[in-house]
């Protein structure tokens, strides 16, 4: 388990880019953290570094969005917020073995999907300010996040994610 302090949204995108460089087909990354924690920001940087087609935005209304790549496995970006179990996730018929899969709100919903996954928990240590976390002005401000990285299974044994 590693804890990284990520000071800005740009640094969060860069962290996604760093992880992207080691990802191969079959890899599964679970992102946990409250609304506005930075899960999609991380995934945007990850997708950019993978050179995916199409902008990475929140897949909330489609549950899962596949971003093809010219040379390599596609990025499948899942928003599991409204899924309640691994069975629901399984129903999406994602080609886990042939894709790089990033699941927002994946905590507790990955049982039996694969034997290995990387889990990132994003936390705003300063807590929620007075406004709603969905307040555009509020969310736009850079503010540190703590990212806890936990490895699960043989694929990620001994792996350490470091911030650039």
**What is the distance between the alpha carbons of residues 71 and 148, in angstroms, rounded to a whole number?**
31
CA 13 distance to own-chain centroid: 11
Site string for ligand ATP, 70-99 (x = CB under 6 A): ------------------------------
Candidate list 32, 40, 66, 151; residue touching Mg ion; CB under 5 A: 40
Nearer to ligand ATP, 143 or 155 (CB): 143
Window of 16-24, 108-116, 142-150, 155-163 that interacts with ligand ATP by CB under 6 A: 142-150
- Structural contact between residues 104 and 78, judged by C-beta atoms closer than 8 angstroms: yes
Contacts of 92 (CB under 8 A, 6+ apart): 63, 64, 78
Candidate list 17, 36, 73, 106; residue touching ligand ATP; CB under 6 A: 36
By C-alpha distance, which of 44, 40, 41 is closest to 52?
Answer: 44
CB of 19 to ligand ATP, least distance (A): 14
- Mapped onto helix, strand or coil, the DSSP state of residue 133 is coil
In the complex, the residues that contact Mg ion under the rule CB under 5 A are 39-40, 58, 104
């Amino acid at each position: 388990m590693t804890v990284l302090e990520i000071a800005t949204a740009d640094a969060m995108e860069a962290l996604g880019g760093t992880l992207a460089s080691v990802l191969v087909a079959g890899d599964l990354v679970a992102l946990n953290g409250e609304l506005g924690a930075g899960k999609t920001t991380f995934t945007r940087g990850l997708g950019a570094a993978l050179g995916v087609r199409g902008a990475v935005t929140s897949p909330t209304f489609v549950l899962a969005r596949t971003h093809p790549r010219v040379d390599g496995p596609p990025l499948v970006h899942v928003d599991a917020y409204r899924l309640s179990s691994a069975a629901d996730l399984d129903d999406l018929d994602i080609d886990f073995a042939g894709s790089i899969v990033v699941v927002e709100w994946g905590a507790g919903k990955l049982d039996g999907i694969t034997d290995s996954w990387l889990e990132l928990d994003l936390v705003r240590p300063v807590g929620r300010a007075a406004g709603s976390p969905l307040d555009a002005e509020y969310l736009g401000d850079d503010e540190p996040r703590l990212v806890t990285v936990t490895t699960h299974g043989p694929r990620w044994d001994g792996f350490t994610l470091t911030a650039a």
